[in-house]
C-alpha cells in the first residue's frame, strides 16, 4: 500500500512538472519579457483597490497610472480580498498570483476531467498534468496570466460547488463540507457574473441551492459593508451602473453578444434593442441547455453551460472570460471512451489555442481582407461559445454508472460520490 501511494505521488509530481514546463513560455512572455507599463494590469487594479482600503483612498475613484488609467470595477468584497496583495511588492504579487492561477488550473482539471483521469489508474497524476499542460495554452487562460485575472478563482469556486456541494472535499486529512450553493454565493460577491447560476437554480427548481447561494452572497456583502461602508455604498449606488468603467466595450476583446453588436457601429438605439432581443433569446436557449445537463446528471456540463450563459448575455465578456471553456472541454470529452466526443473536444481545444479576436483585429488592418470576413474572425470566441452550447446539448450524454453519469447527479441526492481530496 505504501509503495502504491508513493508511486501515485511520484506520478503526480511528474504531472506538476509537466504543467510547469508547458506554462514556462507563457509565464516568461507575460512576467519576464512583457513591458512594465502593461505588466499584470488587472492584478494592479485589484492590488490598488486593496491598498485604497488600507490608506483610506476612494476605491472607485482611483485609477492606475498612465497609460492604462484603469478603475476598480468589482464588488467591494473583492477589494477586501485583495488587501494581502497590497502588503507585498507588486512584482512579488504578480508571481504569486500567477502561481495561484496555475494551482487552480491543476485543481480544476483534476475535478472537471476526473472521469477521464481515473482511467489512467496510478498514473492519474501524470495524466492530469498532461491535460493541464494542453489547457494552459488555450487563449483565455493565457490572457488570464497576461493580465493577472480572477477568472480561475471564479471557475474553480463554481465548479467545486456544483460537483462537490454537500459531499465536500478532504483537505490535509480533514473532511470539509458546505451547503451546496454557498461557494457560488461567495463567487457572486467577488464578481457579479456567476449570478447566472442563481437563475439556473431557479429554472431547475434547485431551491435549496438558490437559498444557500443568495444567503452566502448577502452575508458576505453585508459583512463587507461593515468593513468598508463608504466603498460598498459607492459600488452599489454608482460604480455598478457605469459600464463605461469597464473600458472600450466595442474593443476586440469583448466577446459578448453586445460586444459584437457594438462593433457593427449601428445607431445606439438599434444596438440596444438588438442586444436585448438577442440576449433574451440566447439566455432562454442557453439556460435550456444548462437545464438539459442538469436532468442528464452531467454536473460539469451543467456548470459549463452556465458559464456560456455568462459570456453571451453579459454586457462585457472579455476574452479571458472564456476560461469557462475549460469546463466545456471536460464535459464533452467525458471519460474518453466515445471517439466522437474525444475528436470534438480536441477540435474545440485547438480552436481555443487561437486568439481569434486579435487575429481578426489584425485582419481588419489589412487592405486585402474583406471587412465582413475580418469581423467574423474577430468574433471567433463568441462563435466558439455558441457552438459549445450546441455541442453540449447534442453530444454530452453521460454513460450510466460513470462518475459523470446520472448516479452522480444532483437529481439523486441520496447517492454518494467517491470522496475527492485537495490534491486532486
Confidence of residue 385 (pLDDT cuts 50, 70, 90): very high
Which tens digit of pLDDT belongs to each residue from 111-132?
Answer: 999 999 999 999 999 999 999 9
pLDDT at 398 over 70: no
Q: What is the pLDDT of residue 408?
A: 38
The pLDDT > 70 percentage for the chain reads: 91
Confidence of residue 404 (pLDDT cuts 50, 70, 90): low
Confidence of residue 40 (pLDDT cuts 50, 70, 90): very high
Q: What is the pLDDT of residue 340?
A: 95
Contact 190, 150 (CB under 8 A): yes
pLDDT at 407 over 70: no
pLDDT at 99 over 50: yes
**If you average pLDDT over residues 133-152, what whole number do you get?**
97
Q: How far is 245 from 71, CA to CA, in rounded Å?
A: 7
pLDDT at 143 over 80: yes
Q: What is the pLDDT of residue 400?
A: 57
Contact 310, 382 (CB under 8 A): no
Confidence of residue 247 (pLDDT cuts 50, 70, 90): low
Which tens digit of pLDDT belongs to each residue from 187-238?
Answer: 999 999 999 999 999 999 999 999 999 999 999 999 999 999 999 999 999 8
Q: What is the pLDDT of residue 424?
A: 35
Q: How much is the mean pLDDT over the chain?
A: 91
Contact 179, 212 (CB under 8 A): yes
**If you average pLDDT over residues 168-193, what whole number do you get?**
91
Q: What is the pLDDT of residue 2?
A: 63
Confidence of residue 176 (pLDDT cuts 50, 70, 90): confident
Q: How far is 164 from 183, CA to CA, in rounded Å?
A: 10
Ranges 158-172, 293-307, 390-404: which has the least confidence: 390-404
Q: How far is 192 from 416, CA to CA, in rounded Å?
A: 31
The pLDDT > 90 percentage for the chain reads: 81
Ranges 34-38, 65-69, 351-355, 362-366: which has the least confidence: 65-69
Count of residues making up the chain: 424
| Per-residue three-class SS string for the chain | CHHHHHHHHHHHHHHHHHHHHHHHHHHHHHHHCCCHHHCCHHHHHHHHHHHHHHHCCCCCCCECCCCCCCECCCCHHHHHHCHHHHCCCHHHHHHHHHHHHHHHHHHHHHHHCHHHHHHHHHHHHHHHHHHHHHHCCCHHHHHHHHHCCCHHHHHHHHHHHHHHCCCCEEECCEEECCCCCHHHHHHHHHCCHHHHHHHHHHHCCCHHHHHHHHHHHHHHHHHHHHHCHHHHHHHHHCHHHCHHHHCCCCCCCECCHHHHHHCCCCCHHHHHHHHHHHHHHHHHHHHHHHHHHHHHCCHHHHHHHHHHHHHHHCCCCEHHHHHHHHHHHHHHHCCCCCHHHHHHHHHHHHHHCCCHHHHHHHHHCCCCCCHHHHHHHHCHHHHHHHHHHHHHHHHCCCCCCCCCCHHHCCCCCCCCCCCCECCC
Residue 335's nearest CA partner among 181, 44, 155, 120 is 120
pLDDT at 144 over 60: yes
Amino acid at each position: 500500500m505504501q509503495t502504491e501511494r508513493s508511486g501515485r505521488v511520484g506520478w503526480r509530481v511528474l504531472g506538476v512538472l509537466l504543467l510547469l514546463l508547458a506554462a514556462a513560455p507563457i509565464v516568461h512572455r507575460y512576467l519576464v519579457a512583457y513591458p512594465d507599463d502593461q505588466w499584470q494590469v488587472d492584478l494592479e487594479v485589484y492590488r490598488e483597490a486593496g491598498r485604497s482600503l488600507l490608506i483610506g483612498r476612494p476605491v472607485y475613484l482611483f485609477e492606475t497610472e498612465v497609460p492604462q488609467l484603469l478603475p476598480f470595477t468589482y464588488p467591494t468584497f473583492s477589494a477586501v480580498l485583495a488587501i494581502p496583495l497590497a502588503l507585498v511588492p507588486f512584482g512579488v504579487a504578480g508571481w504569486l498570483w500567477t502561481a495561484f492561477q496555475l494551482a487552480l488550473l491543476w485543481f480544476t482539471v483534476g475535478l472537471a476531467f476526473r472521469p477521464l483521469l481515473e482511467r489512467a489508474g496510478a498514473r492519474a497524476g501524470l495524466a492530469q498534468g498532461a491535460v493541464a499542460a494542453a489547457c494552459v495554452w488555450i487563449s483565455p487562460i493565457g490572457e488570464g496570466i497576461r493580465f493577472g485575472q480572477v477568472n480561475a478563482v471564479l471557475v474553480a469556486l463554481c465548479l467545486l460547488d456544483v460537483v462537490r456541494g454537500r459531499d465536500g472535499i478532504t483537505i490535509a486529512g480533514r473532511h470539509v463540507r458546505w451547503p451546496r450553493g454557498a461557494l457560488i454565493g461567495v463567487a457572486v460577491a467577488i464578481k457579479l457574473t456567476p449570478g447566472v447560476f442563481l437563475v439556473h437554480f431557479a429554472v431547475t427548481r434547485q431551491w435549496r441551492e438558490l437559498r444557500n447561494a443568495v444567503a452566502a452572497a448577502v452575508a458576505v456583502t453585508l459583512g463587507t459593508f461593515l468593513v468598508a461602508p463608504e466603498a460598498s455604498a459607492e459600488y452599489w449606488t454608482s460604480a455598478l451602473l457605469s459600464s463605461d468603467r469597464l473600458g472600450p466595450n466595442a474593443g476586440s476583446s469583448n466577446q459578448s453578444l453586445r460586444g459584437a453588436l457594438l462593433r457593427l457601429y449601428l445607431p445606439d438605439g438599434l444596438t440596444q434593442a438588438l442586444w436585448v432581443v438577442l440576449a433574451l433569446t440566447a439566455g432562454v436557449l442557453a439556460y435550456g441547455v444548462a437545464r438539459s445537463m442538469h436532468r442528464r446528471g452531467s454536473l460539469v456540463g451543467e456548470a459549463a453551460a452556465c458559464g456560456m450563459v455568462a459570456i453571451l448575455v453579459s454586457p462585457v465578456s472579455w476574452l479571458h472570460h472564456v476560461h469557462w471553456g475549460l469546463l466545456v472541454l471536460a464535459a464533452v470529452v467525458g471519460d474518453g471512451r466515445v471517439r466522437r466526443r474525444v475528436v470534438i473536444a480536441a477540435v474545440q481545444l485547438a480552436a481555443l489555442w487561437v486568439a481569434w479576436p486579435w487575429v481578426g483585429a489584425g485582419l481588419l488592418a489589412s487592405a486585402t481582407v474583406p471587412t465582413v470576413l475580418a469581423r467574423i474572425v474577430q468574433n471567433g470566441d463568441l462563435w466558439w461559445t455558441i457552438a459549445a452550447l450546441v455541442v453540449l446539448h447534442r453530444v454530452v450524454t453521460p454513460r450510466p454508472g460513470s462518475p459523470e453519469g446520472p448516479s452522480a447527479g444532483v437529481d439523486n441526492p441520496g447517492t454518494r460520490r467517491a470522496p475527492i481530496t485537495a490534491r486532486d
